[in-house]
Structure 1
Amino acid sequence: MAPKKSLEGIANPLALDQQVCFGLAVAARSVIALYKPLLEPLGLTHPKYLVMLALWEHEPLRVSELSRLVHLDPGTLSPLLKRLEAIGYVRRERDPHDERALAVSLTAKGRALRDDAEAIPPAIVERLGMDIDELLDLHRRLTEVIAAATPEG
């Protein structure tokens, strides 16, 4: 049976605390704030951390691939990559298979940073105080929300 798609039974569908966008926005800001003190000693902001995660898993990546993975448009990603390159974590070069594309790879310093970053996920799980199965289920549900809200194409 398909889930109910009605607001029937909700007394005030315009109440702030009933808005999905409000809950997601507050949760996102709150969780990202937990990362800040863990990332600062590494010279990373949260968006830079997402880029590094993608590169640790998939490097090298074209900027277009990286943009898709981290859900940041190339215009936002470009200055971020310049800053990561300036601190010595990544290298941007023309893709040898397509001179029109820019490829991003890790430097030795960027690869070594991964060892320090491995302490971040357990610290976040501990700080949230939630069971890992609950967090994995939340991640799965959020992935469904992202898929439903993302325009095709």
Structure 2
Amino acid sequence: MYRRDWTDIIGGLLLLVFGVWFLWHAQTYYNLGEMRRMGPGAFPAGLGVLMAIFGLLIMIPAWFRPGDLPVPAIRPLICIIGGGLGFALVVEPYGLVPATFAVVCISALAERELRPVRTFILAVALAIMAVTVFSKGLGIPVPAFRWGSY
């Protein structure tokens, strides 16, 4: 047991750093506009401020309570990053549905106990939602399936 809750201190610090970076980036590269007519930088700047505030609200109380030192879990980190990479590599040549299955199946390996039925149901549901929202709803030109056309 340590004298400070380092898990929340590190998490709050990361939120604070990313929030300040969002705010700086929005102010530097986008027009913030005015209160009556907000520009494209107003929303990211507002999110940056909120992230920084939440980071402080998490970090400051953690400084005064005991806690444990975080132990990073390598397997989930690798599986989640691998899932995103798998999606990026599969979506262009094979389409949205196989890419969704790839990200779900690779990311499911992050858990210690593999549950194939639950993973399959999740992959099917997310693939249906992805096609409905992105291809049909938003009109993004990503086909559901693309076999042999690449």
TM-score normalised by the chain length of structure 2: 0.25
Bigger RCO of structures 1 and 2 (CA < 8 A, at least 6 apart) = 2
TM-score by length of 1: 0.25
Question: Which of structures 1 and 2 has the bigger CA Rg?
Answer: 2
